[in-house]
Amino acid sequence: MKYLNELLDRLNDVSLTGKMNSKKYSEIIKVAVDLLLISKKNRKTIFFVGNGGSAGIAVHMTADYLKNGRIKTHSMFDISTITCLGNDFGYEYIFSKQLQVVAEKEDVLVAISSSGNSQNILNAVSIARERGCKIITFTGFKEDNKLRQLGDYNIYVPSMEYGIVESIHNMILQQFVDEIVAIDGIGLE
């Protein structure tokens, strides 16, 4: 029960900074869902990036947003592509080199990093910004992490525990797509 209480406490402390500042969970959800619905309507692509557990979340969300939300997504995790780019340019460029080729103006990059300091994620955000993408960041750990300052919308979980941070990131991203499904009246086929 202690873990669940900690998870709920941290969920209550989630904050949004960037183009809008809020600690109201409902406002955080509304802002992001509205952005994603506009992207969907305009046939823009959603890119999800992360490392480790955050990569697992990113891969899962790429599939859910495509299948359930019927939103155009692009997987950044093809093993041949990642190992090729990592070998030829360095691991810190595995996402940014892809975005240089495939990202277009008004696409959305969802950057997930518990620490907010992973260089490959920071590089991806830099290229996405150059390409005119909208950026949503998900971070945790220290308030002053680098990634938290870089998005149009920055969702922050105030915890130093990977499990807590990743669970909340996953839950919020899942809620986004579930809200889109409800708003659009999409049934699973």
Provide DSSP, 134-188: EEEEEE-S-TT-SGGGTSSEEEE---S-HHHHHHHHHHHHHHHHHHHHHHHTPPP
Contact 160, 134 (CB under 8 A): no
The torsion angles phi and psi of 73, rounded to 5 degrees, stand at -130, 165
Per-residue pLDDT at 183: 93
32: tokens are 């992001």
Contact 150, 137 (CB under 8 A): yes
Per-residue pLDDT at 110: 98
With a threshold of 0.85, does the pTM exceed it?
yes
134: tokens are 């909208």
Per-residue pLDDT at 119: 98
Domain 2-184: state its class.
Answer: alpha beta
pLDDT tens, residue order, the chain (189 aa) = 899 999 899 989 999 898 888 888 888 899 999 999 999 999 999 999 999 999 999 999 999 999 999 999 999 999 999 999 999 999 999 999 999 999 999 999 999 999 999 999 999 999 999 999 999 999 999 999 999 999 999 999 999 999 999 999 999 999 999 999 999 887 655
